[in-house]
Amino acid sequence: MTTSTGLQVTVNETSSTTYMKGTSSTSANAIAKGDFVLALGTANGPTIEASQVILTPPGGQSATASEVIPFVKKQGQGNAQGQGQDQATTTKSVGQIPANYSEGSGTIVSGTEADKVTEAVLYAYPGGVVNRVAKMSDGEYNVHIMGVSWPHHVFVSVDFKVVGAN
Query: What pLDDT does 107 receive?
Result: 93
- Please tell me the total number of residues recorded for the chain in this structure: 166
Parse the chain into domains and list their residue ranges: 10-55, 63-165
φ/ψ (deg, to 5) at 118: -60, -40
Q: Whole-angstrom Cα distance, residue 116 to residue 122?
A: 10
Which of 15-19, 34-38, 46-50, 143-147 has the highest average model confidence (pLDDT)? 15-19
Q: What is the DSSP string of 16-48?
A: T-EEEETTEEE-GGG--TT--EEEEEEEETTEE
Residues 53 and 13 sit within 8 Å (Cβ to Cβ): yes
pLDDT for 109 beyond 90: yes
Q: Whole-angstrom Cα distance, residue 109 to residue 122?
A: 17
Q: Whole-angstrom Cα distance, residue 155 to residue 145?
A: 11
pLDDT digits (tens, 9 = 90+) for 30-59: 888 888 788 888 878 788 888 888 887 554
pLDDT digits (tens, 9 = 90+) for 59-94: 444 545 445 555 555 545 444 444 444 444 456 788
pLDDT digits (tens, 9 = 90+) for 151-162: 889 999 999 988
